[in-house]
Structures are given as structure tokens and as C-alpha cells.
């Protein structure tokens, strides 16, 4: 498994840093204590496209939409195989219990 990227701002400019490669990503929000907390884990065939969808007006996940009012960041790791991406995403969700992956 490739290493995680640096974290980038989850905004239009920051999303340009994401590759169009397949992979797994984590979305972070700053807490009241200025700590970063993962609020969502996802995977996609095209990381840049998927991250753009999250910050766009048609984001379906209401939990993610609420978080985007705060300073958010993301990081990613490139994972080529679909089954490996799904497995890695599921492992992270089980380990972290991100708020916006629940339900």
C-alpha cells in the first residue's frame, strides 16, 4: 500500500492537488481544540473527480455538507485494485468510525 499524501485544503484549489488515479481518501475537520478529526472515509476510481463532487452543490450526504462550513482538509493514498480499495475503506471505517460514514 502506498503512503498517505500530505493533507490539502478541501476546496476548489486544494482538490486540484488530487490525482485522477484510483484510491482511498480521508476528509478531516478542525475541532474546537484545533485538532484534525476524520469525519469521512471514501474510495473512488478518480480521486479528483470524487473530491470535487463532495465540495459541489449536489453533495448528497447532509453530514458532509454541514462539515464543509468549517475548515476541512483531505489526504489520499493511491490504490489501483477495486477490491483492495473497498477493503481498505472498510478497514478505515471500522477503525475510525467517521461521523459521516454512519447510517
Q: Which three three-digit cell numbers place residue 22?
A: 484510483
Distances (CA, A) of 4 to 32, 45, 57, 64, 76: 25, 17, 27, 21, 5
pLDDT in tens, 49-102: 999 999 999 999 999 999 999 999 999 999 999 999 999 999 999 999 999 998
Strand runs labelled E in 12-85:
23-30, 36-44, 72-78
- Residues ≥6 apart with Cβ < 8 Å to 12: 52, 55
Q: Give residue 2's pLDDT.
A: 73
pLDDT in tens, 16-32: 999 999 999 999 999 88
Domains of the chain, first to last: 8-101 (3.40.1440.10)
Question: For residues 19 and 38, what is the distance between their CA atoms, to the nearest angstrom?
Answer: 20
User: Residue 1 — pLDDT band, cuts 50, 70, 90?
Assistant: low
Side-chain half-sphere of 92: how many Cα atoms within 13 Å?
23
Classified as helix, coil or strand, 98 is: coil
Angle, vertex CA 38, rays to CA 33 and CA 43, nearest 5: 165
Side-chain half-sphere of 45: how many Cα atoms within 13 Å?
0
Amino acid at each position: 500500500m502506498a503512503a498517505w499524501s500530505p493533507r490539502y485544503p478541501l476546496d476548489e484549489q486544494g482538490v486540484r492537488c488530487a490525482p485522477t488515479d484510483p484510491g482511498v481518501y480521508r476528509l478531516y475537520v478542525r475541532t474546537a481544540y484545533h485538532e484534525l478529526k476524520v469525519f469521512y472515509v471514501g474510495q473512488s476510481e478518480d480521486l479528483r473527480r470524487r473530491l470535487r463532487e463532495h465540495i459541489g452543490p449536489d453533495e448528497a450526504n447532509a453530514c458532509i455538507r454541514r462539515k464543509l462550513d468549517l475548515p476541512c482538509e483531505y489526504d489520499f493514498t493511491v490504490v489501483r485494485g477495486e477490491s483492495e480499495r473497498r477493503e481498505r475503506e472498510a478497514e478505515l471505517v471500522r477503525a475510525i468510525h467517521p461521523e459521516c460514514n454512519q447510517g
